[in-house]
Amino acid sequence: MAATNIHPEFHRFLERKDKERLLDQQGAVLWLYGLSGSGKSTIANLAERALSQEGRFTTILDGDNLRSGLNRNLGFSDDDRAENIRRNAEVARLFAEQGIITFVSVITPRRDLRALARGIIGEDFREVFVKAGYATCAERDPKGLYARAEAGQIEQFTGRDSEFEEPGDEAELVLDTDTHGAEECARILLDHLSGPSGS
């Protein structure tokens, strides 16, 4: 049942075009997803720093950071994963509407979750699959998560106990970190951003 005491004020706010004109850029959401350790955050950080040097206004929404604050009450059940993505997508949409180039770095293991994010964010959404095999990520294991998962200390670990669904043709970009370094992937990502529909 819809609440009757909520009255959105969006129509009275300064328009998006005015904010984008002020920033001299267009808002966008680059949604980087893949297994833990695939390179999502590293690529987002490299791309953000490069854009900052060009005078662009950016932000990064990192999955672990969000789970330590906004989403700290959520676990890893199907329902909690969906709510995690919904909240992340709503925040990313708000940033993009302010003209901010927004990088999202979240595992987002299932196609339906990515479709949920796309549905919330709309035309600003760019789906970027950061591809790396389980063995590669386990070898990197920057946070020690794979070792803990193998020791049975983490339940529902994505790629091991919980399935990760690779995309079909819905991803706008695939960055293969099995075969390309993070700096090259960041450059490819920025080339994509500055393409015909980019900022």
In the chain, what are the domain boundaries?
24-193
What tens-digit pLDDT sequence spans the chain (199 residues)?
A: 566 776 666 677 788 999 999 999 999 999 999 999 999 999 999 999 999 999 999 999 999 899 999 999 998 888 999 999 999 999 999 999 999 999 999 999 999 999 999 999 999 999 999 999 888 888 887 788 767 777 677 777 776 667 889 999 999 999 999 999 999 999 999 999 987 655 4
Supply the pTM of this predicted model: 0.88
Of the chain, the end-to-end C-alpha distance in Å amounts to 39
Q: What is the pLDDT of residue 161?
A: 61
Strand order in the sheet with 125-131: 58-62, 101-105, 28-33, 125-131, 173-176
In the structure, how many helices (H) and strands (E) does the chain have? Answer: 8, 5
Q: What is the pLDDT of residue 199?
A: 46
Q: What is the pLDDT of residue 80?
A: 92
Q: What is the pLDDT of residue 148?
A: 76
What letter does residue 15 receive in the DSSP assignment? P
- 24-193 classified as CATH 3.40.50.300: yes
